[in-house]
Structure 1
Amino acid sequence: MGFWGRRDRAEQQREDAADTELSRRARAALIAADERIRTTGDELAFASAELGDAATAELRVGLASVREHMTEAFQLHQLNHDHLPDTPEELRTRNARIVQLCEWAESVLDERTSALQAKIERIRRAPEILHRLRADIAALRERLPEARATLDRLAERYTPEALQRVRMTSGDAEQLLDFALQSAELSERRAAAGKPEDAMLALESATETVRRAGSILDGVDGFEIEALRTQTTLAEVVEDSRGDLVAARGERRTPEVEAAIARLEAELAETASSQRRDPFADLAVVSAANAALDAARERANRPVVPVEQVQHAVAAADHAIGVASGLIEGHRGWIGADARTRLAEARRLRGELAAMPTAEEARDEALRLARRISGLADDALRLAQRDIDSARPDDDDWGWGGGRPGPGGRGGGGGAGSILGPVIGGVILGGLLDDIFD
């Protein structure tokens, strides 16, 4: 009893310590959250002056929601200290809820103020950003003559369809740079007029426009490099294709191979027909024609299975199914699920084999399927024989009345019952069969 009493006191002391710590956390969290709300209110006022009401709307809504929910936290804390006595469980529940509400409030304010801080930092750095934008615009303008020369050179070498991958021209880039400069100047004017929202919008527009203009000019340079790489790859594929054509002409020429040769020759001739080409499209069509010839050659050079071999395999499969079916049908009462399943699968595949086409290219699959059917039928025969051997007594002479007791415990007729029961396959079972022979 003393041991259990000490144990209960130790447990109570641990619970009291945990409740005290939770109460302390609740008070500290309440103070921190309240201070954070006051600080955030001040930050919201400054941010509204710098960015405008629209940019700070999310923080304003979040702050209002936090204040509303923190009212509940203060009410719970008041209940903990009123004149009414509370149970430890009630205090524990209220303090846990206070901590939860305060942590949620801190999380909401962190999220909203961090998102707004980036905008505040950006508007404060607007003069620096505008200075850098003007420098970027000037640098991109210096690239315009080179981009025009590059496009003129590309137009002599590639088709309009190929040049569509550039998507936009140097003229488009120049227009974007003009618009970016106008947006930057507008941002300065709106900031001076005390309209921070308009100034920020114009600044963001200028920044995005400069980025797009730079990507256009980069795309012009990138297209020329990528086109040269594609031409190199195309030359390698063309050389490989010509070698494949030479090899194909010396091999077995099926109609499929003849068609593939004609297609590849036509694509090679078209590729070399003019100076202005689309290397990307040429590479795609020549590669596809080359792959088609490779596939046709592989099928043509594969040894053709003689039709007689397929016929013999099918006949063997039918014979195997017939033997297995005869044994299983004659001893159904003794045959288990494995043998029946093998036979059923063999018959199903035999139906698929009957529906297969008779063309040369289908003979390989037909031969494989016929051998699979034979294997399944042989398995069914083996499993059926196993089932019969395991069910038949060792001294069974398959006679009529060997003196062994039948299913009902009687002799004479029981021997006849033991042999005819499996043969009939369960149609007449147990005592009914014995009654017939009795």
Structure 2
Amino acid sequence: MAGFWGKRKRDALELQAQDAVLAQRAGTALVAADERVRVTTDELLFAEAELGHDATAQLGAALESVKQHLGEAFRLNQLNFDEIPDTAEELRTRNARIVQLSEWAEDLLDEQTAALADRIAKARRAPEIIAGVRADAARLRTRIPHARDTIARLAARYAPEALTQVESNPAEADQLLGFAEHGAGVAERRREAGQREQANLALEASTESVRRAATLLDAVETFEVEALRAESTLAAIIEDSRGDVVVALKEPRSPGVATALTNLQAALAALPAAGVNADPFSHLDRLREANSGLDAAIAAARERAARPIPPLEHVHHAIDDADRQFAVARDVIAGHRGWIGADARTRLAEAERVRIDLDHFLGAPAATLSVIDEDHREQAMTMARRAAYLAGEALQLAQRDINSSRPQQGPDQWGGGYGGGRRGGGSDLMGGILGGLVIGSVLDGMFD
């Protein structure tokens, strides 16, 4: 018993120590959050002066929300020191809430001020950035004559359609640089007039214009290198393609190989004569596509040659067998509907779906086709056999259901009275007749 009370006392002391730590943490967090609000208020004033009200609207809204929630935290902290006695649980709950609100406030303000930090730093460096835009624009202008000379040199070597992606780059770069210089002047004047938000927008537009102009001029230099590389690659692919033509002529002639070979020969024939300006990129793309198509067709033909193609009559036999199996299973199930369970019906429905898919695969009702392409025969036979198998399963399951549902009675129990005989005898049979469970020819005989 002494050990029990000793443990309870130790637990109580430990809980009191934890409550004291939580209370101290709540006070520290509340002070830190309040100071963070004061600092952020000063940062907001500076940010509005540098970036404008619209750019700092989210920070202002976050600051107002934080002030409102910190008001709740201060009210909770005041309750901890009023004249009304509090239980340990009440103090614990309030202090935990104070910590939660204070930490949330600091996290939110940190997130919003971090989002503006780069823009504020850039605004402080505005004079330096304006000078950089003007220097970059002047440097890039010296590259424009060289870019025009490069375009002229490329025009003497390549077809006009090959140059469509870069021929206007020097002129566009010149316009962008002019816009950038004008924007830098606008940014400078707006900044001096105290219109910081407009100044920053103009400066951002100027910086982006310089970047795009540099990209356009770089593209001209890159194009010349890529065009030479395309010519070299084209020569290698031409040699490879001619070798592929020789190989393809020795392969078994399938429709796929014949079509791909024709496409590759047409691509080779479309190549310009030596000395004629051409578009190496378009010829390279066409040859690469035709070459890949022939490789794929040869691979498919070789794979097909490794497997015997089913004779046409075998495919027709498989389709006929599937149709017969389906017809038998359908008639049995239709004639004994009241005894047929879900399994047989499901197999029959799946067999019908596969059979319909076969017609869609062949593009016409399979029973009406006298010729089936060799490329489709194997798949057609597989689908027909699948339909026949499912129909056979449906028939077996239907027969099982019929056998298990027939009245189990002897020859002397026919019509043993309503409710008489084994399991009601005659009533079971009549129920089967009324449920459509007797083949139509039997019913015709009964009512003849």
TM-score higher than 0.5 here? yes
Superposed displacement of residue 37, structure 1? 2.0
The answer (yes or no) to whether the contact 1:238–1:268 under 8 Å persists in 2 is yes
Where does residue 85 of structure 1 map in the other structure?
A: 85
Secondary structure of the structure 2 residue equivalent to 1:277: coil
Residues 84-163 of structure 1 aligned to structure 2 (within 5 Å):
84-163=84-163
Secondary structure of the structure 2 residue equivalent to 1:223: helix
Secondary structure of the structure 1 residue equivalent to 2:72: helix
Distance 1:344 1:54 in 2: 65
Where does residue 179 of structure 1 map in the other structure?
A: 179
Distance 2:344 2:160 in 1: 69
Where does residue 286 of structure 2 map in the other structure?
A: 285
Where does residue 306 of structure 1 map in the other structure?
A: 311
Distance 2:319 2:44 in 1: 87
Distance 2:242 2:37 in 1: 78
**Structure 1 366/46 Cα, relative in aligned 2: closer, same or farther at 3 Å?**
closer
Q: What per-residue deviation string (whole Å, max 9, x for no partner) do you get for residues 217-268 of structure 1?
A: 1111222233333333333333333334344445555666555544443333
Where does residue 23 of structure 2 map in the other structure?
A: 23
Superposed displacement of residue 202, structure 1? 3.2
Secondary structure of the structure 1 residue equivalent to 2:156: helix
Secondary structure of the structure 2 residue equivalent to 1:153: helix
The answer (yes or no) to whether the contact 1:257–1:296 under 8 Å persists in 2 is yes
**Structure 1 55/320 Cα, relative in aligned 2: closer, same or farther at 3 Å?**
closer
Secondary structure of the structure 1 residue equivalent to 2:276: coil
The answer (yes or no) to whether the contact 1:186–1:202 under 8 Å persists in 2 is yes
Superposed displacement of residue 77, structure 1? 1.4
Superposed displacement of residue 215, structure 1? 0.7
TM-score (norm 2): 0.71
**Structure 1 188/352 Cα, relative in aligned 2: closer, same or farther at 3 Å?**
closer
Q: Which amino acid aligns with 1:29?
A: A
Where does residue 366 of structure 1 map in the other structure?
A: 380
Q: Which amino acid aligns with 1:265?
A: Q
Q: What per-residue deviation string (whole Å, max 9, x for no partner) do you get for residues 64-103 of structure 1?
A: 3322332222222112211122233332222222222212
Q: Which amino acid aligns with 1:283?
A: L
Where does residue 392 of structure 1 map in the other structure?
A: none
Q: Which amino acid aligns with 2:314?
A: Q
Unaligned runs of 5+ residues in structure 1 are 389-398, 402-412, 428-438
Q: Which amino acid aligns with 2:68?
A: E
**Structure 1 45/327 Cα, relative in aligned 2: closer, same or farther at 3 Å?**
closer
Superposed displacement of residue 4, structure 1? 4.2
The answer (yes or no) to whether the contact 1:30–1:99 under 8 Å persists in 2 is yes
Residues 201-240 of structure 1 aligned to structure 2 (within 5 Å):
201-240=201-240
Distance 2:318 2:145 in 1: 76
The worse-fitting range, judged by mean Cα deviation, of 300-309 and 209-218 is 300-309
Residues 236-255 of structure 1 aligned to structure 2 (within 5 Å):
236-251=236-251, 253=253
Q: What per-residue deviation string (whole Å, max 9, x for no partner) do you get for residues 367-389 of structure 1?
A: 3334445666787899999999x
Distance 1:42 1:377 in 2: 82
Superposed displacement of residue 214, structure 1? 0.7
**Structure 1 306/24 Cα, relative in aligned 2: closer, same or farther at 3 Å?**
same
**Structure 1 88/299 Cα, relative in aligned 2: closer, same or farther at 3 Å?**
same
Superposed displacement of residue 290, structure 1? 4.0
The answer (yes or no) to whether the contact 1:304–1:360 under 8 Å persists in 2 is no
Superposed displacement of residue 349, structure 1? 4.1
The answer (yes or no) to whether the contact 1:156–1:276 under 8 Å persists in 2 is yes
Q: What per-residue deviation string (whole Å, max 9, x for no partner) do you get for residues 192-216 of structure 1?
A: 4444334433332222111111111
Distance 1:340 1:30 in 2: 72
Where does residue 13 of structure 2 map in the other structure?
A: 13
Unaligned runs of 5+ residues in structure 2 are 360-364, 403-409, 413-420, 436-448
The answer (yes or no) to whether the contact 1:168–1:216 under 8 Å persists in 2 is no
**Structure 1 45/202 Cα, relative in aligned 2: closer, same or farther at 3 Å?**
same
Give the total of aligned pairs.
418
Distance 2:24 2:91 in 1: 12
**Structure 1 11/166 Cα, relative in aligned 2: closer, same or farther at 3 Å?**
farther
The worse-fitting range, judged by mean Cα deviation, of 74-83 and 173-182 is 173-182
Secondary structure of the structure 2 residue equivalent to 1:165: coil
Distance 1:81 1:168 in 2: 76
The worse-fitting range, judged by mean Cα deviation, of 187-196 and 113-122 is 187-196
TM-score (norm 1): 0.73
Root mean square deviation, CA, Å: 4.7
Q: Which amino acid aligns with 1:235?
A: A
Distance 2:252 2:88 in 1: 94
The answer (yes or no) to whether the contact 1:305–1:360 under 8 Å persists in 2 is no
Residues 343-358 of structure 1 aligned to structure 2 (within 5 Å):
349=354, 355-356=365-366, 358=369
**Structure 1 51/351 Cα, relative in aligned 2: closer, same or farther at 3 Å?**
closer
